[in-house]
Structure formats: structure tokens, C-alpha cells
Structure 1
Amino acid sequence: MMIHLDLDCFFVSCERLKNPALRGIPVAVGGRGDPFIFATTSRSNLDVTLENSGAFVPTLFYDAQTDFREYFVEGEKIRGIVITSSYEARSRGIKTGMTIREALGRCPSLVVKPPNHLFYHECSHALKTWLQTQIPVLEQYSVDEFFGDLKGWVEEPEVPAFLHRLREEILDRFGLPVSIGAAPSKWIAKLATSAAKPGRGDGVKVLFDNEVDNFVDPLPIDAFPGIGRGFSKRLKAYRIETLGELKAARHLLYRWKKPGIQLYHRVNGDDNEPVVPGYDRRSIGISRTIDPLFDRGEARRRLIILCRHLAHLVGRIGAHPQTIFLGIRYQFGQKAKKHLTERFLFSELALRQRVLALFERIDTFKNLAIVRLSVACSHFATRPVTEGSLLAYEAENRAKRLWLQTARVRQKYGIDTIRSAVEML
């Protein structure tokens, strides 16, 4: 049987570990996407971690280490959005994605904490390490979600008791409340977790094979993980409102090729997708949403900063990328993106030169403000490779040696320890 573990209000739960006075009251953890990575002053509390893995696990974090006013208040404005909230806050109308200003308007007693992502990932990694001793096959799906496969480990009749014991031990050992769903297939197990959540269940929901259809079919399509706004809109255009109706529309889903076929079999519970304990990283990237920015000189400065952080990440995993990607999103929804693939010795300088060259090529909406920048590396070679003249190789090699030396300093003292002069202007 497959299981899915979802830590309840994880960031808030972590904050309550540090400050038990936050228990039982409305609490939210907020966040801000922009100014900290691009600050002209050095930040010692900006760092990366590669301890946790998963499709939805980022690598670059800012630990606030400050109070509400310093983090969220800018002039007369309260900036930022709610990342997660406690159930006490949710009962008062607080939702993820809501602005901090609106959340405080709805619930004046709400305690809003700046994020401490490195601490959250330390908690997640400690839990993952322990779970690997309890579950034979474990997959980290996000910082607060895990899949597990109990086949051959726990007999089906014993699964409910096993999961209740597991849940109680996680709470005792780590102080983290968790909800667990179980089902014959991976994505139905994730769907079952929603019925185990506080206010809906007792923390564990087990669906045996003969119970799956009765549980799944009446649910609205929006309840299923992986059905986003686009798919939901398309399905509702065909008057498909429930998962049972979706299961009866096999011919329609198959017309939508791979995404539709995959969704159909996940909802049907016969996708046979395994729990994957690890995977080879195929790409690594960094993106930031920013306040609307018209100044292209400032955009280039921010790209240089993103390149520094991305190069640090690439160095941490020992990769040799040959493909560089740049994406730009503008204020009214326009987008520009391009990648280049070539054989070169990777370094921070090599990455920066190629990203800035791509920026000059694809920034065609110069009269529009930029609201998001994305840089990524992929197509990893098994060893350093390059091509071209001997002089080019020597220049690339010098840049790589310098980058490796600075990486050692940054690894010990922080990413902002060594920066380019242009970053501080």
C-alpha cells in the first residue's frame, strides 16, 4: 500500500517549536520575494541547502532573523504575503497567498512571523532521516510532504495501526503534527490525506481497494492533486464537475495526449507510478519575482546576482552544465525566453557572460517593466568539457580556478562574502 505524509501547517509548526507561546493562537508565516537577495549590503543569513530533495524543494533560502517591522514594513506600507497559517488563523479567513495587510485586517490578533527557511529545512531533513528507518521506500515530494511504499513491509490489515503509531511517534520525537493518507496507488493516497486533516479526520485516512471508488467519485475535480486552473477550466467546459465524471470520460482525456492520459490513470488509480527514493538532478535554476523594474542596468545587476547564486549551487552539486536558460516576464504578461547549448568550462564568469548576452538578445519589450527573472542550467556533462582555441581554453580555465577558490570562501563564510563591485552599486 502507498502512503502520503503531509506535515500540518509546517512552517507554523516549526515556529511553535521555537516559541511554544504561539500554540493555540492564530499564527501565519509570511514572505517577500524581492528585495533581500538583491540588496546592496551583504546578507549573512542568505544561504543554500541541498540536504532535501524533491520536485518541489527549492535550494536558496533567506532566513529573516528579524522582527515583523524590519521584515514586512517598508515606509508606510506593509509588504509580503501569507505563506502558511495555523488552523486557528484559517478559521478566521486567513489563506495562503493573501497579503499580510489583508490578513491583519481580517484578524487583528494574528501573529505574523518572518520566514526562517533554513530552520524549516533542518526540521524536514531530520524527519526524513528518521522516516528512512521506518519506511523501506521513501520519496520526498516537497519540504513538508513525503510518499512511502509499504508493500512487503506492512500487511494491509495492519496499515491503519502502523500509521497511527507512526503519526504519534513523529509528534513525540519532532513535535510536528502530521496527516497521513494511504491507498493502493500513490496519488489516491495523496488525495486521502486531505480527509485526514484536522477538522476533517483523525490524522489518518486509509482507503482499501474496495473503498476507493466510493471515496473518489463524488469529489469535485479541483480536489485532485495536479488538476490546476487550466485543466479544471477545460474539464468544466465539457460539464465534468466530479472525479467520477472524469473517470467516465476516458475518450476525452486520451485526446489530450500525455498530460490527459496521465491524469486519467492517476484519478482511476491504475497509474502504477512508483515511489521514487531519489533522482538524478537534470537541471538547477533560480527565479525571483520583483517589483516592476524599467531600469535595464538594474536588471543586469540583478541577473549578475542570480548568476552568482546559481553558480554556487552548480558548484555544490559538482555539475558541468552545457545549457544555459534565461526567462523574463513583463508586467502585462508578456514573456521572453531562450536557451543556448555549447561546450564550455563552467564558472561564475562563464555563466554571467552567457546570461547577459541572452538578455541583450531576448529583451524585446524594452518599454515594459520586468517583474520576474529566471536563470537555469541543465544538460549536465559527466566531466568538464570545452571546445575552441587554446587561448579560449586557458581563459576559461583561469576563470574556473578563480570561481572554485571563491566558492570555498563562500561555502565557509556565506554566499555574500565575495561579490562583484557592480552588485554593490
Structure 2
Amino acid sequence: METKRCIVHIDLDSFFVSVERKFNPGLIGKPVLIGGSADRGVVASCSYEARKFGIHSAMPMKQAMKLCPQAIIIRGSHGRYSEASGDVTRIIHNSVPLYQKTSVDEFYIDMTGMDRFHDCYGLATDLRARITRETGLPISFGMASCKTVAKMATNAAKPNGQLLIEHGKEKEFMAPLSIRKIPMLGEKTCQKLYQFGIEKIGDLQRVELKFLETVFGKHGRYIWERANGIDESELIPHSDRKSISTENTFETNVTDQKTLETVLVSMTEELAYKLRKENKVASCLAIKIRYANFETHTVQEKIALTAAEHILIPGVKNLLKKTWNGHRPIRLIGVRLSNLCSGSYQINLFEDNEERIRLYQAMDKINFKFGEKTVCRAAGMAIGTRNFNPFLRD
């Protein structure tokens, strides 16, 4: 007999806003926007009160303020969010055997097989209560037979709720929902489906697989399976102890600051690109220096969660300034980004304006398509990637 899968999706409600409300209860019940400046910044997160006005993340702050002039803008506190995310992760880590952290505020838990000994829905309910009790943060969860339906159940349960979709009831639950509710279904795909009169997931469930494969190619099967509640993707176990690094050994010892900075810029770009490609952000930055006499020094500093080189590059240059006296010959230099966490580019919305976000998205789109280093900063072009040996390690 086939084992029934039991997947729980956990999502902290308006995470950044909820964390800020812990420190300032006066924000409770009010429309709150977190992100960059009111002039050129964008919304990183917003409260449910603000969402009622049509505000959403990545919206220009100017536009958000027009929709809701009484909204309170908060710059955001990276340290607080990182710490709160760590607290929730520790509780989950100590409570369940297998989980996946997919962003600073989102988790999947695999409870498959545990129903032989426990009431899985009761366990998830207790875990949700414990997280709220110990962290003071509101949280929602959905439980279903796969990741896709569990995530959709969480979205239906929000804010501050929980929902179980029983085995065999997946299609029934999904049918009345908009096709936009299917995770990872892009805007272009939705627009194409609308042209065929397909607006609800129930409409999509009645469509033949062959038709979807004809219109969307290989992606057609993905659409059909998700619409029918089929998702066999496994959880990738969470690991906190990861870093990504690269280093360069010079053929002759170097004492020129500009050369060293050029290499650092190129290496930092390469690592930041890899992070974004793997949907990760880092909160610790380090450089390694080996002098001509083989004496080796590593210096590091905590940074705001990021995968953006316009934040990382000034950081590595500053570490070089702190470590190197400007005279001793250097034979090797390296960069390491650590304390990695799954998380989208969203975390960078605190510092970024619309133009910079569009620039990163355009650069990454080109590099993802044609290969890394197709587009990079002029400052990093003097050094090639062939000398580098990047690696991801535990």
C-alpha cells in the first residue's frame, strides 16, 4: 500500500511588519509599509491593512503612498528580521525530523509516515501555537498531500489561520480558485490561458493534457499536474552551515591596490550572481589574504541579508583596507559569503530603488540565458574567471 504524503507549509504573516510591531505595538492595526525612501524606493513588505488599498511588495513607494497617504513608512531592520527568522527556524528544527526553509519566513515540513503514531494535524497545530507563543509572531499553515496544495492552503488560511486539505479533496479545494493562485504560474502563462477562456483552476482541470502540451510545450505537463493537485517534488533538507567562496593566486606577488580591488570586484560579482541564481542571500562577508611569506589572514563582518554586489563590493573593499597595510606583497586573495539563507531578491528592496532592481533583473536575465559574466561591471573586467575556483561547501 502506497504511503500517503503529508506536507505542511508554514508562512509567517507579513513577517517584516509583524517583527516591527513587536518592537512598536503602536503599529498594530495600521497600514504599514516597509522599504526604501518615499521618493525613489520600493515596498519590501506591507501590512494587511495596507494591502486593502491595492499595495503589494515591489511596488514603487510613491505609488503606494498615493493609494494610501496615511500609511506609515518604516525603513526596516535587517538584524531584527534575521534574528526572528533564526528563532523560528530553531523551534522548527527542534520539533520535526525533516523540513525545508525556502525563505526567511517560509518553511515546508514533511510529516509523511508520522500518522501511524501521531495526529499530524494536531502536531502542526501545536507547532504553530508554540512559534506564536515563543516569538510573538503570527503564523499560518496549510496541510496537504503535496507542496503545491499545502502552499495554496496556507494562502487560503491567511492571515493567522490554518487549513487541512484531506487526501482526495485537492481538486475540489482548488477548482473555484483563480489560476493565478497556482504557485510559480507566471503572468504570461495566465494571460495565454485567459485567451482560451480559462480563468479558474476548475476550468484548467477540464482541459486535456495534450492541449496544454501543444500550447505550452513541456511546461504544459507542469500546468496540468499542478491544476490537478499533483506535485511529487521532494523537500530539500535545510542546512544552516553553508558558504560560497572563491580565491585567486597571483603568478607574481601584488602590491598594487587597484589590481587587488579589480580582482575583489570580479570575484564578488561572480559569487553574488551565483547566490541570486540559487535564490540565496548571505549575512556574513569575509576576505582571505595570503602574503608572500605564506602568512594567511581572514577577516569577516556581519552584513544585512543580501545578494547584491552594490552592497557587497564596498564591504570587501573596506575589509581589504582594514586588513592590508598597503605595502606587504600579496600572493593570494579570496572572498567568502556565508550564513546563507534561502530567500529571494526581495530582501534587497530595503536599499534599492526601482532603477537598480530593474538593472539587476535585466543583468541576471542575460547572464542566466547566455552564461555568467556576459554582463558585469567594467571594474571587474580586467580579470578573467578562468583563474578562479569557486565552490559551494557545507
Name the TM-score, length of structure 1 as normaliser: 0.58
Please give the per-residue CA displacement for 1:105-149, whole angstroms capped at 9, x wherever unaligned.
Answer: 333332110022232122112211210111221101111111111
Within 5 A, what are the aligned runs for 1:193-212?
193-198=154-159, 203-212=161-170
TM-aligned CA deviation for residue 89 of structure 1: 2.1
Please tell me whether the aligned partners of residues 182 and 192 of structure 1 are also in contact (alpha carbons under 8 angstroms): yes
Within 5 A, what are the aligned runs for 1:18-417?
18-31=23-36, 72=37, 78-154=39-115, 158-198=119-159, 203-247=161-205, 248-255=207-214, 256-278=216-238, 284-286=271-273, 314-317=335-338, 337=367, 339=371, 355-357=380-382, 380=390
AA of the residue aligned to 1:268: N
AA of the residue aligned to 1:316: L
Q: 1:382 to 1:135 in 2, by over 3 A?
A: closer
Please give the per-residue CA displacement for 1:226-245, whole angstroms capped at 9, x wherever unaligned.
Answer: 11112112222333222223
Name the TM-score, length of structure 2 as normaliser: 0.62
TM-aligned CA deviation for residue 161 of structure 1: 2.7
- Equivalences, count: 290
Distance in 2, matches of 1:175 and 1:15, equals 11
Distance in 2, matches of 1:227 and 1:339, equals 25
Please tell me whether the aligned partners of residues 285 and 310 of structure 1 are also in contact (alpha carbons under 8 angstroms): no
SS state at 1:194 partner: helix
Task: Give the structure 2 partner of residue 6 of structure 1.
Answer: 11
AA of the residue aligned to 1:25: K
Please tell me whether the aligned partners of residues 209 and 224 of structure 2 are also in contact (alpha carbons under 8 angstroms): yes
- Which segment is superposed worse, 171-180 or 112-121? 112-121
TM-aligned CA deviation for residue 275 of structure 1: 1.3
Q: 1:310 to 1:249 in 2, by over 3 A?
A: farther
TM-aligned CA deviation for residue 18 of structure 1: 1.7
Please tell me whether the aligned partners of residues 188 and 267 of structure 1 are also in contact (alpha carbons under 8 angstroms): no
Q: 1:126 to 1:266 in 2, by over 3 A?
A: same
AA of the residue aligned to 2:150: A
AA of the residue aligned to 2:223: L
AA of the residue aligned to 2:186: G
Distance in 2, matches of 1:165 and 1:305, equals 40
Percent identity, aligned pairs only, is 32
- Provide the alpha-carbon RMSD of the alignment: 4.1
AA of the residue aligned to 1:251: K
Q: 1:353 to 1:276 in 2, by over 3 A?
A: same
Please tell me whether the aligned partners of residues 182 and 226 of structure 2 are also in contact (alpha carbons under 8 angstroms): no
Task: Give the structure 2 partner of residue 403 of structure 1.
Answer: none
Q: 1:10 to 1:353 in 2, by over 3 A?
A: same
Q: 1:172 to 1:356 in 2, by over 3 A?
A: same
AA of the residue aligned to 2:28: R
AA of the residue aligned to 1:192: A
Please tell me whether the aligned partners of residues 163 and 204 of structure 1 are also in contact (alpha carbons under 8 angstroms): no
Structure 1: gaps spanning 5 or more residues: 32-71, 289-301, 319-327, 342-350, 360-374, 384-425
Q: 1:119 to 1:216 in 2, by over 3 A?
A: same
Please tell me whether the aligned partners of residues 253 and 260 of structure 1 are also in contact (alpha carbons under 8 angstroms): yes
SS state at 2:336 partner: helix
SS state at 1:126 partner: helix
Please tell me whether the aligned partners of residues 4 and 189 of structure 1 are also in contact (alpha carbons under 8 angstroms): yes
Please give the per-residue CA displacement for 1:173-205, whole angstroms capped at 9, x wherever unaligned.
Answer: 01110110111111110011111013xxx6001
Task: Give the structure 2 partner of residue 60 of structure 1.
Answer: none
